[in-house]
Amino acid sequence: MSVVIKVENLSKQYRLGMVNSGTIKDDIIRWWSLLRGKENPLLKVGEDNDRTFVGKSDYVWSLKDINFDVKQGEVLGIIGKNGAGKSTLLKILSKVTAPTTGVVKSKGRIASLLEVGTGFHPELTGKENIYLNGAILGMRRAEITKKLDEIIEFAGVERYVDTPVKRYSSGMYVRLAFAVAAHLESEILIIDEVLSVGDAEFQKKCLGKMNSISKNEGRTVLFVSHNIQAVAELCTKGLVLENGKTLVYGNIEECIRKYHASTRGGNLDSLALGNRLERTSGKAIFTKIEGVKDGKESWEFDYKDEIKLHFEVVTNEEVENLSVYIALKHVFSNETITNIEQNVSLETLRKGEKIGFEISVDPKTIRPGEYKMYYALGKIGTKEFYDVIDDNVDIPMLFINTSGKDIHENVGFISISHNFKIDA
C-alpha cells in the first residue's frame, strides 16, 4: 500500500518565557544572519523538552527530528506522557502551526479533530452548526447536504436539529460534533482525545466508527490518546514520543510495552506523594521500588529469570507489624491476577527508621506478558494502609519476555506447581 503521510526530520522549537521581551532583538539577529546567507544562529541553541529540571536556554525543542510514514488505511497511535510533544505534532500535521525544520508530505485531504465542536456557535441550531462545523473542517456545502441525514442519525439528535445548540445537553453536543467529523470525506483523519467524552455507549460507537473508517473505507487515521486500551484496540502501528523525540516507532504492542517501560521507578520518596498521603496515613512510605536483574535496575525479565524486587521503606511514625502487599494486575481489566502479603517486621519500628528488603519470585512462575503492579504497606492482617502505590503513581509495569520455545508458556498468567504420579 502506498505511503500517504511522510514526515521527515520534523522539529519544532518554542521560545519560553515572556513572549514579547527581546523579540525585536532576536528578529534583528535572524535578519542579519539571513542577509549574510547563514543559518539562523538561534536554531543551534535549545534543549530537550525535559521538564524535570530547569533549563538554561530560553528555547526548547518541543519536537526534535521526528521521522515516520503512514500507509493508506493504517491507524497510527501516537502515545506519550503529557508534554512529550503529541499535541505539537498534531498541530503541525493539521497546519495549525508550522514546523521549525523538516517536511511533512501528504496525499489527500487531512481533516483534524483536535477538539470536538470547533466553532460551534451556541445561538445557531443543530443543523446550522453542522454546516458551520463541516465547512470549518473543510467540507463543501453540497457535501454536507448529502451527508446531513446520516450525520443527524449518527448523533441521535433528530428531534432537536432546529433547536439552538445552547439548549443541548453536553452529551448531545459532543455526539453532534463527533458525528460531523466522522462523516468528513477526507482521506486522512487526525483525532486527539475525543473519546474521553460522552458516555460508554457512545464511546463504543465512536471506536466502531473509527474502526470502519480505516478498515472498510481504507482511510488513514492518526489517533492520539491517553487511553492505552483504546489505542491497543484500534491501532496497527504506534509512535511513542518522549521529551519531543521518538522513543519507539513500530508495531503497537512493542510501542505500548516500551511506553510503560519508559516510566521510571527508582526514587519514590516524593513521587505523587500528595496523592498517596491523601488516601493513606503515611505512617510508613516506600522510598524506592525497583526490579533488579543482574544487579541493575530493570523491569524486563526473561521467563527463565528469577524476578527480584528491591524495596526501601522509611517510617514516619512508630509502627508495629509492618507488612508489604504486592499485587500483579491485568493491564486492561485491572483485575488482580495474584498477590503476595509478606511480613516485614514483627517488632515495633521506631520513627524515622529505614529498612531495605527484597522479594524474589521463582523463575517460570509468572508467564510472559506485561503486568501492572500494585504495592502497599500496612499492618498485617488488617485493612489499615500506610502507603499505596497504584495507577495514580507513575510506576513501571513488569515485563516478562518469552523464550519463544515453548508454545504453552505464552498462555495464561501464572504457572502453578503440580505433582505427577503414574498409577501403581
Partner 1 sequence: MEKWTQIIKPKSKWHQLRLKEVWEYRDLILIFVRRDIVASYKQTLLGPLWMFLGPIFTVVVYTLVFNKIAKISTEGIPAPLFYLAGTTLWSYFQTSLNATSGTFVANAGIFGKVYFPRLVSPISVVLSNLVKFGIQMMMFLCFYFYYYFQEGSIIQPNSCILLVPFLIFLMGGIALGLGISISALTTKYRDLTYFISFGVTLLMYATPVIYPISAIPETYKVFINFNPISPIIETFRYAFTGQGTFSPSGLVFSFTFMIVVLFIGTVFFSKVEKTFMDTV
Q: Which residues bind partner 1 (CB under 8 A)?
A: 3, 6, 14-15, 19-20, 23, 91-110, 112, 114-115, 118-119, 121, 123-124, 128, 131-132, 135-138, 140-141, 164
Q: How far is the CB of 131 from partner 1 (least distance, A)?
A: 6
CB nearer to partner 1: pick between 129 and 280? 129
Of 140, 136, 168, the closest CA to residue 152 belongs to 168
Nearer CB in complex with partner 1: 66/376: 66
Question: In the complex with partner 1, which residue's Cβ is closer, 108 or 352?
Answer: 108
The radius of gyration of the chain's CA atoms, rounded to the nearest angstrom, is 26
Least Å from the CB of residue 12 to partner 1: 9
Q: Which is nearer to partner 1, 46 or 369 (CB)?
A: 46
120 Rama class: left (phi>0) / alpha (psi -120 to 50) / beta: beta
CB nearer partner 1, residue 14 or residue 413: 14
Min dist CB 187 to partner 1, Å, is 9
Residues 6+ apart with CB under 8 A from 248: 238, 239, 240, 254, 255, 258, 259
In whole angstroms, the minimum distance from the beta carbon of 175 to partner 1 comes to 18
C-alpha–C-alpha distance, residues 176 and 174, integer Å: 5
Nearer to partner 1, 110 or 324 (CB): 110
Least Å distance, CB 151 to partner 1, is 15
- Burial label for 90, CB within 10 Å (0-12, 13-18, 19+), is buried
Pinpoint the alpha helices (H) of 162-266. Answer: 170-182, 200-215, 228-234, 252-262
Minimum distance, C-beta of residue 264 to partner 1, in the bound complex (Å): 30
In the bound state with partner 1, the residue whose beta carbon lies nearer, of 135 and 331, is: 135
Burial class (CB in 10 A: 0-12, 13-18, 19+), 285: buried
Q: What is the DSSP letter of 232?
A: H
CA distance 254 to 248: 8
Please, what is the minimum distance in Å from the beta carbon of residue 147 to partner 1?
14
All cell numbers assigned to 268: 519514590
Q: What cell was used for 351? A: 520513627
Helix and strand totals (H; E) in the chain: 9, 21
By beta-carbon proximity to partner 1, the closer residue of 91 and 258 is 91
CA distance 171 to 181: 16
Q: What is the DSSP string of 11-69?
A: EEEEE-S-SSTTHHHHHHHHHHHHHTT---GGGT--EE--TTS--SSSEEEEEEEEEEE
Going by C-alpha positions, the residue among 404, 325, 339, 397 that lies closest to residue 368 is 404
DSSP string over 93-141: HTTSS--SEEEEEE-S-EEEESSTTTT--TTSBHHHHHHHHHHHTT--H
From CA 286, how far away is CA 314, in angstroms rounded?
7
Our CB check for partner 1 shows the closer of 37 and 274 to be 37
Our CB check for partner 1 shows the closer of 137 and 328 to be 137
Closest approach of partner 1 to the CB of residue 302, in Å: 43
Least distance to partner 1 from the beta carbon of 78, Å? 17
Nearer to partner 1, 101 or 246 (CB): 101
Please state, in angstroms and as integers, the Cα–Cα distance from residue 75 to each residue in 62, 111, 246, following that order. 24, 14, 18
In whole angstroms, how close is the CB of 20 to partner 1 at the nearest point?
A: 6
CB of 11 to partner 1, least distance (A): 9
